[in-house]
Amino acid sequence: MQQDYYDILGVQKNSDQSTIKKAYRKLAMKYHPDQNPGNQEAEEKFKEAAEAYEVLGNPEKRSRYDQFGHNAFKQQGGFGGGQGFGDINDIFDSFGDIFGDIFGGGGRQRSRRDGPRQGANLRYMMRVDLKNAVEGCQEEIEFDADSSCGTCSGSGSAPGSSPETCKTCAGKGQVVRTQGFFSVATTCPSCNGRGQTITNPCKTCDGSGRENKKRKIKVKVPPGVDTGTRLRISGEGEGGYRGGPAGDLYVEIIVNEDPLFTREGNDLVGQVEISYLQAILGAKLEVETFRGKETVEIPAGTQPNDQIVLKSKGAPSIRGYGRGDMIFIAKVKIPNKLDKEEEKVLRKLAEDKGESTNGPIAGFFSKFKDGPLKH
């Protein structure tokens, strides 16, 4: 036997509408699904209370119920036939005003489709030279983006006018239609859920409140960025809708190849060209860096592909601590020809060391054969 609706809400049959509404609100708060996640019993009680209030909260339906009980709706296929609310969201749609009161505008109410909302985020791919990626820089970028209309400030109405309250839904953004004993809330067809209509649209944006603009902004690139680094610039995305906030701009870094250095982690790796005599005897040389010339010391007996390291001269950590190293790979230049004096000296040296020679530059230079520079 189906339970009496008055008993479900815990009210007397002579209770006024205000008492019935308060009783339903109390039960709705107690058994709300968000308050009782995964509790099937609470969900059923929530549906029962909604079914009871659907009838007793409507004076006409309440009168029929008082006369005929549940039979009043069985003939019509209404709630009393045991169908109730098939989906929880149907309850929130039908009683959105009550849940707004209980949960501060929430309670799973469905928001107006075209109400204020944040603009979309944008992505911009920005190329920077390796030097600027290491040292940091400021770059100006240009892009197209939808923004709030400058003429109407996003309202959609021509200057001197303003949107009017929708006459169809009285500014609620929804219309409630009664089908038998059901009340169904749907988006207002006149204002598309905005609650307002524009009678004198802005000529610049045709009433949309938005226009596409070419924008230029300066982006501060911090030292240490690398390919794949993403910079977030708050509020520089697409403009918001109907007064909503703008989205964000995400700048993704792509580092160009550099003629002097490659980057390995936070280390910068380059090459230094030295002669065979400098490799044998050692030397001090000037090398190019991103901050000007630096002096490096070539140790005597340097072999091809040996590393000469300048500590903490590489790229800084983007997190703000430490720097990598600057590493120069020794490339020993082997001469293709020797003048007679050079050859004489070297042959004498080879002879003194007991090294056999076969040709003008073989033997002594064989140790460098794996790493000469090609010219």
Domain boundaries, the chain: 5-102, 114-151+208-257, 268-333, 335-375
Question: For position 64, what pLDDT does the model report?
Answer: 84
Question: For position 91, what pLDDT does the model report?
Answer: 53
Sequence-distant (6+) residues with CB within 8 A of 66 are: 13
Instruction: Pick one of 2.120.10.30, 1.20.1090.10, 3.10.450.630, 2.60.260.20 as the CATH number of 114-151+208-257.
Output: 2.60.260.20
> Are the CB atoms for 112 and 200 separated by under 8 Å?
no
3-state secondary structure at position 48: helix
Question: What is the helix (H) or strand (E) element at residue 26, kind and residue range?
Answer: helix 17-31
Sequence-distant (6+) residues with CB within 8 A of 219 are: 126, 138, 139, 140, 141, 231, 233, 251
Q: Alpha-carbon distance 343 to 112, whole Å?
A: 91
Could you give the residue ranges of the DSSP H alpha helices within 32-81?
40-56, 59-68, 71-74
Sequence-distant (6+) residues with CB within 8 A of 121 are: 237, 238, 247, 248, 249, 250
CATH topology for 5-102? Helix Hairpins (1.10.287)
Q: Give me the average pLDDT of each 10-residue run along the chain (375 residues).
A: 87 91 87 77 87 87 85 51 45 50 43 63 94 96 86 84 88 78 75 83 84 91 95 90 83 95 96 94 94 94 96 91 94 88 85 74 50 43
And the tokens for 267? 């280390």
Question: For position 95, what pLDDT does the model report?
Answer: 54
> Are the CB atoms for 181 and 81 separated by under 8 Å?
no
- In the block, which residue shows the tokens 């997190």? 319
- Asked whether the domain spanning 114-151+208-257 has the same topology as the one spanning 5-102, the reply is no
Domain 268-333: assigned CATH number? 2.60.260.20
Helix-helix angle 59-68:40-56, to 10 degrees: 100
Question: For position 186, what pLDDT does the model report?
Answer: 80
Measured on CA atoms in the order 342, 343, 344, 347, is the torsion positive or negative? positive
Tell me how crowded residue 149 is: count the other CB atoms within 10 A of its CB.
21
